[in-house]
Structure formats: structure tokens, C-alpha cells
Amino acid sequence: MDVKEIIDRYYPVDNELKEIYMIHARAVSDLALEFARRHPELQLDEEFIHEAAMLHDIGIFLTDAPRIHCHGTEQYLCHGYLGGRLLRSLGHERHARVCERHTGTGLTKEVIVQNGWNLPAMDFMPETMEEQLICFADKFFSKTKFLDHPRTLEQVVESMRKISDESVAKVQEWARLFM
């Protein structure tokens, strides 16, 4: 199943949610590919980057996020894990890992347990360069503000400051690596 077929399977109707999803996914894909092309020495898999960036938020429709027309039952925080399950069920393990690992700058088992989040108690941290790159590119776009206009790096860093010092450090590390 290719990317378009997967998206159409879970977003079969052209509506506000699908429009938001597609604008966001294309913006993340375009920026991730721009970063990858700046660094041929990293030998990143551009086809995979495009596919995984287009699918990284596939699970949002299962969540309750009315501001972006999602009317599911799960917490929005779970969208990456849920998307990973969807993609894994279709045999797309590598893409599933991108879904699971793109929230914030990744989620550790410790933080999940500490906050009592409805996620498996395990690490969901981006590991491969492609996973890190997509996670980084995603930070420049939200699905509400900045839908298709990227935040500045300064705005991304400031948004990570609300999460943790570790998230700020990770974003700064990725900026040095990919920008």
C-alpha cells in the first residue's frame, strides 16, 4: 500500500480534517526533504523521509482534538502511538516507528509513567537520523497556528522551553545537525 492509499484509507472523505492533515504533512515533508538535501554527507533516505513525514500524524483522527476536527476518543498525546499501531498493522514497521517517536522531541518511559499518560511505559525516542529529522521538521508546524507557514527556530526553541531543558537542548542539537 502506498502513501496515498494509506491516507485515503483513514481519511476517505475530503473535509476540514483531511485538509489540515494534508497541509501539515506536506509542509513537514517539504521541510524535512529540504534539510536532508542540504546534507548529502548524511546519506539520508529521501524517499523514506517523504513517506514517513506524510504519515507521521496518521493517527490523529482517533483522538479528541475538536480544534482540528478530530472527534475520536483518545487523548491527542496518543496520536503517534496510535498511528504507529495502524501502520504496523499494514506492515510498515519503519514508518510506524516515526509515528511513535515524533511527539515533542520524543517521550521517555520515565516521563510517561511520571505523568500517568495513557501510553505503554516504554521509550518513544527518535533513534535513526531519518526519525530525528522528521521529528525536528515537525516542530516548525502546528495543525492550528503555523499550519503551512513555518515557525522560526527561535519560536521552536521557545515552544520546547515549555516542555523541558532537555527538549530545548535536543532541538538545538538538531538545528546544528540539519540546518
Res 1: pLDDT: 84
Give the single-character DSSP code of 103.
S
CATH T-level fold of 3-178: Hypothetical protein af1432 (1.10.3210)
Three-state SS at 64? strand
CB-based contacts of 88: which residues, under 8 Å, 6+ apart? Answer: 96
Res 56: pLDDT: 98
**Cβ(97)–Cβ(133) under 8 Å?**
no
Res 42: pLDDT: 97
Q: What pTM was computed for the model?
A: 0.95
Long-range contacts of 81-89 (CB under 8 A, 24+ apart): 81/119, 81/120, 81/124, 83/55, 83/56, 83/57, 83/58, 83/59, 84/59, 85/59, 86/10, 86/58, 86/59, 87/6, 87/55, 87/58
Rounded to a whole number of angstroms, the CA Rg of the chain reads 15
| Strands annotated E in 16-148 | 64-65, 70-71
Res 64: pLDDT: 96
**Cβ(27)–Cβ(148) under 8 Å?**
yes
CB-based contacts of 176: which residues, under 8 Å, 6+ apart? Answer: none
Q: How many CA atoms lie within 13 A of 22 on its CB side?
A: 15
Per-residue pLDDT of the chain (179 residues; tens, 9 = 90+): 899 999 999 999 999 999 999 999 999 999 999 999 999 999 999 999 999 999 999 999 999 999 999 999 999 999 999 999 999 999 999 999 999 999 999 999 999 999 899 999 999 999 999 999 999 999 999 998 767 789 999 999 999 998 889 999 999 999 999 99
Pairing of strands 70-71, 64-65: antiparallel
Picking from 25, 20, 11, 28, the residue whose alpha carbon sits closest to that of residue 145 is 20
Give the CA distances from residue 158 to residues 17, 154, 155, in Å, rounded to whole numbers and listed in that order: 27, 6, 5
Q: Which residue has the cell 472523505?
A: 13
